[in-house]
Amino acid sequence: MTAARLNNNTVHEIASITNSNLLVRMMEMGVLPGKKLAY
């Protein structure tokens, strides 16, 4: 799923992140699996 497919005014939970350079960058920003994002 990409961010473009997220619905507005809802809370989404990150279930998993594929091991990649993006995972490292997201972890550095504090975005970890299990974190809930309000969009």
**What are the tens digits of pLDDT across the range 7-34?**
666 776 776 666 778 777 877 887 776 6
Indicate the domain borders of the chain: 3-38
For 4, the 3-state DSSP assignment is helix
Contact in structure between 14 and 31 (CB atoms under 8 Å): yes
Q: Is the pLDDT of residue 2 over 70?
A: no
Q: Note the pLDDT of residue 10.
A: 72
**Spatial distance between the Cα atoms of 14 and 36, rounded to a whole number of angstroms:** 7
38, two tokens: 């309000």
Residues in contact with 38: Cβ distance below 8 Å, sequence separation at least 6, in sequence order: 10, 11
pTM, full prediction: 0.36
